[in-house]
Structure 1
Amino acid sequence: MLACRFAGLGLLGSLAACASLAPSEEASLAKLDMPAAWSRGTAVAAAAAGGSAVSTASLLAWWQRFDDAQLDALEGQALQANTTVQGARAALGQARALRDLAAAALWPNVTGQASAQRGTVGGRSSGKNFQLGADASWALDLFGARRAALEAGEAGLAASQAGLGDVQVQIAAEVALNYILLRTSQVRSLIAAENLASQEETLQITLWRQQAGLVTALEAEQARAAVEQSRSLIPLLQTSSGQSLHALAVLTGRPPAALLEMAEFGAVGSALKVPQAREVLSLNIPAETLRQRADVRAAEYQVAAALAREAQAQAQRFPSFAIGGSLGWSAATVGALGNSNAVLGSLLASVSLPLFDGGALSAQLRVQQAALTQAQVLYRAAVLSALQQVEDALLALQGARLRLASLRLAADAASSAAQLARQRYSSGLIDFQTVLETQRTQFATQDGVASASAEVGSDQVRLFKALGGGWSPAVEAPNR
């Protein structure tokens, strides 16, 4: 008879789960007037031929568009060994465990026990007693409080997974930006060294002309000042390179000095260049971009979690029901435990109704309602910030490309002018001031080309980051 009662516990619990109270309202997400297209998407896409459409696959490893094996290796190391990424993965594991904890609350709690006792009275044995039994209890979720807690755990797990994706996006961009800064400093150091060599040749020519009485000491000192001024820039650029190497090492989970061998790459000469992506993406509409953004997804899941917690707080104001029981055997010998007379059992049903709590449950409901409002506002802020970041990146990339094109023309003209000026100065056809000015212009324009190239590469990285590149929801989806 008691076994039939315990079987009825499972049926009643299943019916209670089906009768859980659904949320009273759908998620009230922020309503935004989404733009139909990006304001500068067409202009940027037209800047390079062969653009490809944005997709999750193309954005997942966007750094491969820079065609740099060293950058690929650093990105892979950072996404595995970076301490912030590892911390986000641990937080994801914690969120998964919390979800499982909420799921376990929907099931009955069964415990078993066994005991053996031997007693004496006045020094004589009073007999033995053996007991074997099990206790079971089940809090029925008639109004959906526990199921709402599970929904909140599911949403929290999804938000944590998206949070990990957002960390991956941030770290991937930081690695690329520091790598571009490293290569830019090395290229600028190479340009400075080449111009220093040219100025040293000019200084030698000036000293020869001074010995011949063709120029005065003024021209010689001006040439020497130009040489030392150019020489003074090289240590600054080397410092910048070293600091970028330190940042890259830490981003990849290693000590700051672990990548010093990359500093020798600057001596390769023609192989050294400022990284830039080989093509420009043909952008999707803003709404599609927002679906790719990990931070927007995380904010959306936080709204869902807040809504579930509000439903849980609402359900806790209703009565709670629980059923339980125990089934056991007690006998003087182990063999007697099988007798029907040794069977002990009980069944208990209880109901609990909050009558007076000083307004605690109502206050808790208002707390969750306020938290839901905050989550909705944060979701709206995440959407607006995402739109701004993409528009800013598009605008910056468009301007950087135009600036780079002009500086390249200026650098070509300045190099030709500097070469002609030095030849004419050697022949005594022009004065030293013209040579000095053309050399300064040549160095400034060549250095400007390197800096503008870095701006283009960095703006490309920021655009990939703004588009949500560097993660995919399918890569580390929550286990359900």
Structure 2
Amino acid sequence: MRRYAALCALAVAACTTLGPDYRAPDAAGLAVPETYYGEGAPPAPRADLSRWWETFDDPLLTRLIDVASAGNFDLAVAAARLTQAREALVQARAGLVPTVGAGGSASRSVGAGNDRTSFNLGADASWEIDLFGRIRRGIEAAGADAEAAWFDREALRVAIAAEVATNYIEARLAQARLALARDTLAIADDNLQIAQWRVQAGLVSSLDSEQARATRAQTAASIPNLETAFASATYRLAVLTGRAPGALTAELSAPQPIPEGPEPIAVGIPADTLRQRPDVRRAERNLAAATARIGVAEAQLYPGLRLSGSIGTAAFSLGGLFEAITGSILAGIDQTLFDGGRLRSQLRSQQAATEGALASYRQSVLTALEDVENALLALRAARERQAQFRIAFEAANNTAIIARTQYRAGLTDFQTLLEAERSLLSARDGIANSEGDEARALVQLYRALGGGWDPMATGTTT
């Protein structure tokens, strides 16, 4: 046994780890700029975005996102994949320790004057000495895979929170536009009645009443599409929260204003993207796993050392089992001498996979920066449009009031009234759409910044 222990100690001391040691690329190596191109103000420290939806100050929106985070089935699938990845890490770690088995048997032979019972007990163990780090690199890769699976789940959590918020905004925007369409329909009914009275009085031709009837019908035709848009948004919200379509329609039927977010948003600096976006961190962990697997492939080119041993005893009675114990120790080395270049091809293949993982990581960083820039641009454009639509609404509202008064008094024609009403409708609809665009752009920005999860948490398993 002393020789066996000495052999084990010598083997462990001789172990080395092949393959490159992973170093995560830094922001400078990834060509990350110091500031966002579309951010006008000097960069400020980024605020906590883990629960950004609370900045909209809408309790129902907050509750829906919390329910979706707990009950969404896509998240349940991602959680199951995370469990699988963590169990794969446990299995990889098991390669560092010996495998031990035991067995026993009892038999009785019956013959002419030769009846006897025999008992056997035995145990065996085997242990692969990780001479060149194949197992250790495999553990490193499995650990990175587990962390990547955790970031994958968190990236999905971010996406689901943004999708819930977007569909909630769509539902409230459809309600606002629906209320506007119904108000416009009431005005069209009033205009049609006035036109018909004036035609009956012989003050105008039937052209006025026909134009009023056509305008009224066109306004009424827009209502079913808006009702469909509202219903579709509520159906999607129900599915996102793990319920059947229609489960939330009644709850959302009471009209509420389009959610308004905060005016200033501290987006921080682009380097924050490397730690804030879970999809970027997932790509980085995939790169780490691919790098570790180079060591696994390289270690396959070198000899493998396996120690095995067994111990056993046999007797014709239970009391005599431990009187005579036998055992054996075996050390074996295996080395592939010729395989047609298969192992070296596997190494080159893994090196190419690592290069691809690095390119994918770089691309994920650039895509994240692009998402932020596009969201900043969309937010600024929505706010500028909203300001102009409010000016247009004020002017169009005054024009419509004057035109309606003059038409009632017979001082202007119906065409002038129709144009004024169309301008007013366009301005009101523009305000509603720009409010929805602003809210959606805010959600887009929060998602682009990686909000919706806790970046201080990690997927590391112990």
TM-score, normalised by the number of residues in structure 1: 0.91
Residue type at the aligned position of 1:143 = F
Q: Does 1:127 align with 2:125?
A: no
What secondary structure sits across from 2:122 in the alignment? strand
Residue type at the aligned position of 1:321 = L
After TM superposition, the runs of 4+ consecutive aligned structure 1 residues lying more than 3 A away are: 4-16, 22-31, 473-476
Post-superposition offset of 1:20: 3.1
What corresponds to 1:49 in structure 2? none
What corresponds to 2:391 in structure 1? 409
Among 353, 367, 378, the residue aligned to 2:349:
367
Post-superposition offset of 1:432: 1.6
Structure 2 Cα separation of the partners of residues 461 and 146 of structure 1: 44
Equivalent residues of 1:20, 1:147 under 8 A apart: no
Q: Deviations over 1:39-81 (max 9, x none)?
A: 1212599xxxxxx8424xx211111111111111111121122
What corresponds to 1:343 in structure 2? 325
Structure 2 Cα separation of the partners of residues 257 and 100 of structure 1: 43
Q: Deviations over 1:198-241 (max 9, x none)?
A: 22112222222222222221111111111111111111100111
Q: Does 1:69 align with 2:59?
A: yes
Structure 1 Cα separation of the partners of residues 42 and 361 of structure 2: 28
Among 407, 420, 423, the residue aligned to 2:402:
420
Structure 2 Cα separation of the partners of residues 316 and 415 of structure 1: 79
What secondary structure sits across from 1:349 in the alignment? strand
What corresponds to 1:230 in structure 2? 219
What corresponds to 1:158 in structure 2? 147
Structure 1 Cα separation of the partners of residues 41 and 226 of structure 2: 34
TM-score, normalised by the number of residues in structure 2: 0.95
Equivalent residues of 1:118, 1:127 under 8 A apart: yes
What secondary structure sits across from 1:350 in the alignment? strand
What corresponds to 1:54 in structure 2? 46
Mapping 1:31-42, distance limit 5 Å: 31-42=29-40
Q: Does 1:321 align with 2:305?
A: yes
Decide whether aligned partners of structure 1 residues 9 and 475 sit closer, same or farther in structure 2, where only a CA change above 3 A counts: same
Residue type at the aligned position of 1:59 = L
What corresponds to 1:466 in structure 2? 448
Residue type at the aligned position of 1:131 = N
Structure 2: which 5+ runs fail to align?
none
Decide whether aligned partners of structure 1 residues 128 and 9 sit closer, same or farther in structure 2, where only a CA change above 3 A counts: farther
Among 262, 286, 308, the residue aligned to 2:270:
286
Structure 1 Cα separation of the partners of residues 45 and 20 of structure 2: 41
Among 2, 5, 16, the residue aligned to 1:20:
16
What corresponds to 1:214 in structure 2? 203
Among 116, 121, 132, the residue aligned to 2:106:
116
Among 86, 89, 93, the residue aligned to 1:103:
93
Equivalent residues of 1:163, 1:295 under 8 A apart: yes
Decide whether aligned partners of structure 1 residues 99 and 288 sit closer, same or farther in structure 2, where only a CA change above 3 A counts: same
Decide whether aligned partners of structure 1 residues 111 and 473 sit closer, same or farther in structure 2, where only a CA change above 3 A counts: farther
Structure 1 Cα separation of the partners of residues 342 and 274 of structure 2: 39
Residue type at the aligned position of 2:67 = Q
Among 441, 445, 452, the residue aligned to 2:423:
441
Equivalent residues of 1:303, 1:376 under 8 A apart: yes
Equivalent residues of 2:22, 2:292 under 8 A apart: no
Structure 2 Cα separation of the partners of residues 165 and 13 of structure 1: 42
What secondary structure sits across from 1:105 in the alignment? helix
Q: Deviations over 1:114-162 (max 9, x none)?
A: 211211234x444221122211111000110000000000111111111
What secondary structure sits across from 1:258 in the alignment? coil
Cα RMSD, aligned residues only? 2.0
Equivalent residues of 1:138, 1:323 under 8 A apart: yes
Number of paired residues? 460
Mapping 1:132-151, distance limit 5 Å: 132-151=121-140
Among 363, 377, 385, the residue aligned to 1:395:
377
Residue type at the aligned position of 2:200 = Q
Decide whether aligned partners of structure 1 residues 449 and 44 sit closer, same or farther in structure 2, where only a CA change above 3 A counts: farther
Structure 2 Cα separation of the partners of residues 199 and 44 of structure 1: 50
What secondary structure sits across from 1:160 in the alignment? helix
Structure 1: which 5+ runs fail to align?
46-51, 267-271
Residue type at the aligned position of 1:307 = T
Q: Percent identity?
A: 42
Structure 2 Cα separation of the partners of residues 178 and 440 of structure 1: 28
Decide whether aligned partners of structure 1 residues 325 and 150 sit closer, same or farther in structure 2, where only a CA change above 3 A counts: same
